[in-house]
Amino acid sequence: MTKPATLVLTGYGINCEEETAFAFNTAGSSSKIIHINDLIENKNILNEFQILVFPGGFSYGDDTGSGKALANRMKNNLFEEIKRFIERDTLTLGICNGFQVLVNLGLLPLLDGFDGTAQTALEYNKSFRYQCRWVDVMVEKDSPSIFTKNIERMHIPVAHGEGNFYAPEGTIDKIESMNLVSMRYIKSDGTRAQTEFPFNPNGSMNDIASICSPDGRILGMMPHPERGMFFTQRDDWTLLKEKYIREGKDIPVYSDGITLFNNAVNYFK
Amino acid sequence: MPQPSIAKFRIEVFYKKDDPRGAAVGDKFNRLGYSIDKVYLADNYLLDIDVNENDIKSAAETLIQPVTQNYSINNPYNPENFDYCIEIGFLPGVTDNISHTVRESLEDFFKKKLDNEKSVFYTTCYFFKGNLNPDIIYSIGKELYNPLIHRIKILSKSEYISNGGMGYEIPVVHIAEDSGVDLVNLSIDDESMQILGREGIANSDGTRRGPLALDLLSMNIIKEYFHNKEKREPTDIELESIAQTWSEHCKHTIFAAAIDDDTPGGIYKSYIREATARIRKEKGDKDFCVSVFTDNSGGIDFDEDFIISDKVETHNSPSALDPFGGAITGIVGVNRDSIGFGMGAKPVANRFGFCFADPEDEVPVYKNKSEDSKLLSPRRIMEGVVHGVNAGGNTSGIPTPQGFIYFDKRYKGKPLVFVGTIGLMPKKTAGRSSVEKNAMDGDNIIVVGGRVGKDGIHGATFSSEALSSGSPATAVQIGDPITQKKLSDAIVKEARDAGLYNSITDNGAGGLSCSVAEMAKECGGFVVDLENIPLKYHGLSPWQVWVSESQERMTLSVPDSKTDEFISLMNKRGVEATIIGKFTSSGRGVVRYKNNEIFNLDLDFLHDGLPKRNLYTEKPEAEIKFAAFREPEDLNEVFHNMLSRLNICSFEYISSQYDHEVQGGSVTKPLQGKGRVNSNVSVIRPLLSSDRGVVLSQGLYPSYSDIDTYWMAACSIDTAIRNAVSAGASIDHLAILDNFCWCDSNNPFRLWQLKNAAKACYDFAVAYGTPYISGKDSMFNDFKGYDEDFNEINISIPPTLLISSLGVMKDITKAVTIDFKFPGDLIYLVGITGDETGGSEYNAYIGEKEQNEKFTGTNIPKVNAGLSKRIYKAMEKAIDERLAASCISIERGGLAVAAAKSAIAGMLGCEIKLSKINNNDIQRNDILLYSESQGRFLVSVNPDNKGKFEQIFSGLPVHMIGTVKPGAVFTIEGIAGKKIINTDIPEIDYNYKKKLKKY
């Protein structure tokens, strides 16, 4: 099998491209970090890739609202190419600021095809403060998302100022009825966070942490799987390590986040 | 007076539903005692661009989130219910990042260039509904804006409606055309010469340009140079340039001066640099230093192939004026010390450290005798600084795991804002050593990044002066992290590895005048054509262009053969790059402007002409009082009060708003355990393909300076090292950095304190074998002004030495955190507890409680480096063998606070018996609990490992003082066997976290 090729976007304040590419490579993809301007200059290179990633960061400093300016830049220059990319049998992932870009670009939830218009929003956190913390999310079993297959829950970090998912009434109903919610914030006992801080870190509607497109090939998520792919990235690893040592077990190498990258790569096997 | 400029379009963006920001603003003001029912916001974009109405409509649609927001064009937003509207925008020339983004987006949308200076402006409107009158709304306005950088406009609802909204005025910069170049007459008497040095060059209207900060001795040397060697008077740009280069900020004149008759080498050479030289020699082939003191950062081995660098800066004076701007400029600025280290190190982590006055202290202090000159309150300073580092660090994608806050009322005149950046760089890039920079004769001088404006002029000379009403507001700047991020990525992720330049440095203090002259040392000369330097706006005088400290700029030396490739790469990355001149080997620095030579100096004179001073110290007479008080009866209450003191309590609200996970390298966090307790040490993994970690910590004890700066420095060093060891660092691969923030440094008594601190810096670095790799000093942190009754006051900070530590550990899976892990684990106190409460947080607490004034005391902690070194090696072994389930280094607040932190972090109770401390001759429980004796750890150990652990510490002071308990009960039994502290985790957790929660 040839390794699926992953294009990880960078430029204009995207800042998680290196660890995100590292995650895809660890999972068996061959990934390339490409600057948006190089992509605009050479649009056809998109044809060489199976996976497109909008990593986390602060594109354009979040000015005028997170993800908006970068979404505009994509729309102004790459609309047709993106349309063709998602029509192929490809995967697209947006993490954190990348999720905000996907929403503003109208690539999620993609209820009525790709026309470049936002249908939902990621608003300021209810605390009106940037939150960097670890949370628990459950994965919706019935979600068509390719990325979250066989995952039940994840312990994973978030870091954002605008992650408060909002959709108008008609839209949220469709999102829920089509099972497009792929992750929700939960308490440590597994029950829904019910928008309670800090379990739901941003006040997100229906505790939504992640949504996907109807065909499951596009996923946007506020949590950062690339920051929760190794055991030693976890906030509780020194406790778990002590536990495993006392139980005579090995110290693991990986953590929950890696499965998401493995799923993406395995889709092309 | 020029007419105000008017925008053609005003686009207002507002929410269709409730604006989440409005609720936050309303809550804030209600907390401050106002009565606000509702706040609406609007983001306003004032556009002076030549497009038709349809096009502006399409453009407006790109500025909103269509699901939640709406917009209006030239038609004021009119929320249903408000009493007053406050509009806040920037003053002309102040960095406005949002406008910058919008201009770029509109250029992309319209596919045409828009005017850099005049096309796009941003303002925010706040619509307030509540119990308001003109006085109240005015005071709300004051809280929202800073007159040094902002414009404010306040209208009542009726005015708003009759005016048709807030208007179309835009802050275009208007400067009378530049005055060209002036000659400065130095054939003047000593008194005039002194005024020239102190207040600056006179303008034609008699006003002065701001301090050169040159004393008479320096001025006369400059005069002699020009009159005898150059046979002419200097130009203003020459004199300004010399002032920048010789400033305290750039040349560290106090650290370079001879001190007394016994230290002709001065503080830096004799104590700091010499310590490193000796340590490196003693280490021989185990020396891990790669680049020390000479570059923008210091660097040590990370592994065979990589270097880890570190640099800590201060940005105190600017942060006092505009806390947000000062702090963001500080953090983004110190990032460039990493990008400008060697051929460019990628920033992999930030540090922070803030020293403030109590945020609840609202008693006003004034710069001069007018109400308008009120200093920002400690709360405003804290809020602004915390937010500035948030915006700078988070936006740049650099994790900020490690930091501290410290409070003392003497930081009310000037806060201290420490910011640091750790960088990672391959030892070899493009086939050559990454640490050797060589600007070559004939290389092009290229400036990349931001443009030059008036901002930051006299920043370097300003830091040599105390803060008073003469402080130029031009020292205020606002960092632009996205411009810098583009530049940083283009350099350290692309141009460096393609070998496109021969040398690089940061434009910091002194701007181009310092960066170009500094790089010219590598080849011997330069010629710059000043009109090529890109400007933010027209009208700057040549000297201003040359010394401006406008941010986000780097200077590079690029050979002709690589110039096209370099510039084209920068342009593709959205980074402006401009050739401004050439490096030469002429021995001269030359600046031309419109074909005239306006600057031509001997570089040796510029760099080394500064007269060396000899400073003298004087031992102070003042006697310090012993703090005499009895052991309090209710030690439970004391315990809870101690935990909620500003210098001990949780600052979770800061740690959780600073992204410490970005780049994926976080190993041990700033908040540890289930209970999320602030740790004093962090471990990061800067290279995901390696198992190595970098350990970051720090130590500082400003309160000890009141007793003895020698032991203050010793304790700071010991703490920085010990904290690092507690997480898994080895003292065999540990470097330190020194940041001296002093006060009134012309005063022989302060210099005596300085010299003693520096002596300890030498003694203890050498004793531990931990070399200094970089340092910085800020010598005049004094405020002269007026108190609430307009009586004169001087506020000087306590002499503050920050020691930062940087260690490398081989295996991150061995890193240790502070939280207790399992019930039944044994709790060990390692080290000797002495009667050492002098300068302690406990003495301060008791004094405040009994006499409303902190006690200091005399019995300052001393450091026994010989013993501590053995303990640290043993601890390293215990951690390497995975025998420490938790480990916390005991520092401020002593044993009791350390135990509380481990217990809260683990959410597990414990039972501790002070009677189990071996060989104890201290008879007071409170002293055992709160003494800040150095060299100590509190460790929890799996009972199965008891033998092995005790074996490692055999012959060393180690005391098994208790056990971790299931459940929440937390008890400490006193020497006599009575329970002196009997509480539970929820209660201590509450007290530990309550103090700063509301921010």
Residues B836-849: pLDDT tens digits? 999 999 999 999 99
Torsion of CA B858, B859, B863, B868, to 10 degrees: -160
Q: What is the CA radius of gyration of chain B?
A: 29
B41 touches A at CB < 8 Å: no
Instruction: State mean pLDDT over B498-513.
Output: 92
Beta strands of B713-809 (E only): which ranges? 734-741, 772-778, 782-786, 792-796, 800-809
B109 and A121 in contact by Cβ < 8 A? no
C-alpha B715/C-alpha B891 separation (Å) is 9
- pLDDT, residue B622, reads 73
Closest CA of chain A from B491, distance in Å: 13
- pLDDT, residue B289, reads 98
Instruction: State mean pLDDT over B584-608.
Output: 95
- B24, B481, B813 ranked by CB distance to A232: nearest: B813
Coil/strand/helix, residue B535 = strand
- pLDDT, residue B458, reads 65
Interface of B with A in 257-296 (CB under 8 A): none
Residue B600 in contact with residue B589, Cβ under 8 Å? yes
C-alpha B821/C-alpha B943 separation (Å) is 12
- Residue type at position B224: E
Of A164-178, B170-184, B256-270, B625-639, least confident by mean pLDDT is: B170-184
Instruction: State mean pLDDT over B573-597.
Output: 95
- pLDDT, residue B467, reads 44
Residue B443 in contact with residue B519, Cβ under 8 Å? no
Label residue B634 exposed, middle or buried (CB < 10 Å: 0-12, 13-18, 19+): exposed
The residues facing B800 across adjacent strands are: B741
Does the pLDDT of residue B625 top 50, yes or no? Answer: yes
Residue A224 is among the residues annotated as catalytic for this protein: yes
Does the pLDDT of residue B675 top 70, yes or no? Answer: yes
Residue B280: CB atoms within 10 Å: 16
- pLDDT, residue B510, reads 84
- pLDDT, residue B177, reads 63
Give the pairing type, strands B969-973 and B979-984.
Answer: antiparallel
The two structure tokens encoding residue B223: 């005069």
Instruction: State mean pLDDT over B24-39.
Output: 94
C-alpha B445/C-alpha B749 separation (Å) is 45
pTM of the prediction? Answer: 0.95
Closest CA of chain B from A147, distance in Å: 20
C-alpha B753/C-alpha B707 separation (Å) is 10
3-state secondary structure string across B171-207: CCCCCCCCCCCCECCCCCCHHHHHHHHHHCCECCCCC
- pLDDT, residue B19, reads 84
C-alpha B247/C-alpha B242 separation (Å) is 8
Residue A48 in contact with residue A2, Cβ under 8 Å? no
Of B169-178, B343-352, B988-997, least confident by mean pLDDT is: B169-178
Catalytic residue chosen out of the listed positions A16, A96, A162, A212 = A96
The two structure tokens encoding residue B209: 């340009």
Residue B520: CB atoms within 10 Å: 27
Please, which pLDDT band fits residue A170 given cuts at 50, 70 and 90? very high
Instruction: State mean pLDDT over A226-230.
Output: 98
Instruction: State mean pLDDT over B611-618.
Output: 92
B666 touches A at CB < 8 Å: yes
A255 touches B at CB < 8 Å: no
- pLDDT, residue B536, reads 87
> Nearest chain B Cα to A241, which residue?
B813
The residues facing B331 across adjacent strands are: none
Does the pLDDT of residue B949 top 70, yes or no? Answer: yes
- pLDDT, residue B372, reads 85
For helices B53-62 and B97-110, angle between their N-to-C axes, nearest 10 degrees: 120
Residue A203 in contact with residue A125, Cβ under 8 Å? yes
B256 closest CA partner among B519, B610, B746, B717? B610
Closest CA of chain B from A15, distance in Å: 5
* Tally of residues, chain B: 999
* B contact test, residue of A33, A38, A232, A234 with most B CBs within 10 A: A232
Give the pairing type, strands B553-558 and B525-529.
Answer: unpaired
B316 closest CA partner among B466, B142, B211? B466
Phi/psi at A171 (nearest 5 deg)? -70, -45
Chain B residues lying within 8 Å of A230, measured CB to CB: 664, 688
3-state secondary structure string across B102-151: HHHHHHHHHCCCCCCCCCEEEEEEEEEEECCCHHHHHHHHHHHCCCCCEE
Does the pLDDT of residue B455 top 80, yes or no? Answer: no
C-alpha B165/C-alpha B495 separation (Å) is 49
C-alpha B820/C-alpha B900 separation (Å) is 10
* B contact test, residue of A238, A249, A253, A258 with most B CBs within 10 A: A238
Catalytic residue chosen out of the listed positions A17, A140, A212, A224 = A224
A11 and B65 in contact by Cβ < 8 A? no
Closest CA of chain B from A46, distance in Å: 18
B662 touches A at CB < 8 Å: yes
The DSSP letter of residue A124 is P
Residue B567 in contact with residue B577, Cβ under 8 Å? yes
C-alpha B215/C-alpha B197 separation (Å) is 6
C-alpha A254/C-alpha A240 separation (Å) is 13
CA atoms within 13 A on the CB side of B316: 35
Does the pLDDT of residue B395 top 90, yes or no? Answer: yes
Q: Which residue stretches of B211-308 are H helix?
A: 216-224, 236-245, 248-251, 253-256, 266-267, 274-283
Coil/strand/helix, residue A227 = helix
Chain B residues lying within 8 Å of A236, measured CB to CB: 674
- pLDDT, residue B91, reads 86
Does the pLDDT of residue A44 top 90, yes or no? Answer: yes
- pLDDT, residue B178, reads 62
Q: What is the CA radius of gyration of chain A?
A: 18
Closest CA of chain B from A149, distance in Å: 23
Give the pairing type, strands B444-449 and B677-678.
Answer: unpaired
Preceding omega of A109 cis (within 30 degrees of 0): yes
The mean of the pLDDT values for chain B is: 93
B942 and A246 in contact by Cβ < 8 A? yes
Write down the ipTM of this complex.
0.96
B467-479: pLDDT as tens digits: 444 443 455 678 8
Q: In what order do the strands lie in the sheet with B826-830?
A: B886-889, B937-941, B826-830, B958-965, B909-913, B969-973, B979-984
Residue A35 is among the residues annotated as catalytic for this protein: no
Residue B48 in contact with residue B119, Cβ under 8 Å? yes
**In chain B, what is the straight-line distance between the N-terminal and C-terminal CA atoms, in Å?**
43
Residue B735 in contact with residue B298, Cβ under 8 Å? yes
- pLDDT, residue B471, reads 40
Does the pLDDT of residue B324 top 80, yes or no? Answer: yes
The two structure tokens encoding residue B202: 């006179």
What lies within 8 Å, CB to CB, of B550 at 6+ separation is B450, B451, B452, B453, B455, B456, B477, B507, B511, B536
Does the pLDDT of residue B764 top 60, yes or no? Answer: yes
- pLDDT, residue B327, reads 94
- pLDDT, residue A269, reads 86
What totals of helices (H) and strands (E) does chain B contain, helices first?
31, 42
Instruction: State mean pLDDT over A92-99.
Output: 98
Q: How far is CA B516 from the centre of its chain?
A: 25
C-alpha B591/C-alpha B579 separation (Å) is 14
Interface of A with B in 84-103 (CB under 8 A): none
Chain B residues lying within 8 Å of A131, measured CB to CB: 656-657
B141 closest CA partner among B133, B158, B123, B153? B153
Of A17-21, A30-34, A178-182, B470-474, least confident by mean pLDDT is: B470-474
Does the pLDDT of residue B157 top 70, yes or no? Answer: yes
A93 closest CA partner among A210, A7, A182, A218? A218
B196-252: pLDDT as tens digits: 999 999 888 888 888 888 999 999 999 999 999 999 999 999 999 999 889 877 778
Label residue B73 exposed, middle or buried (CB < 10 Å: 0-12, 13-18, 19+): middle
Does the pLDDT of residue B463 top 50, yes or no? Answer: no
What lies within 8 Å, CB to CB, of B158 at 6+ separation is none
The two structure tokens encoding residue B835: 């009667």
- pLDDT, residue B468, reads 44
B101 touches A at CB < 8 Å: yes
Residue B34 in contact with residue B93, Cβ under 8 Å? no
Instruction: State mean pLDDT over B714-724.
Output: 98
> Nearest chain A Cα to B662, which residue?
A16
Which residue is it, tokens 């009575």? B978
- B98, B108, B572 ranked by CB distance to A73: nearest: B108
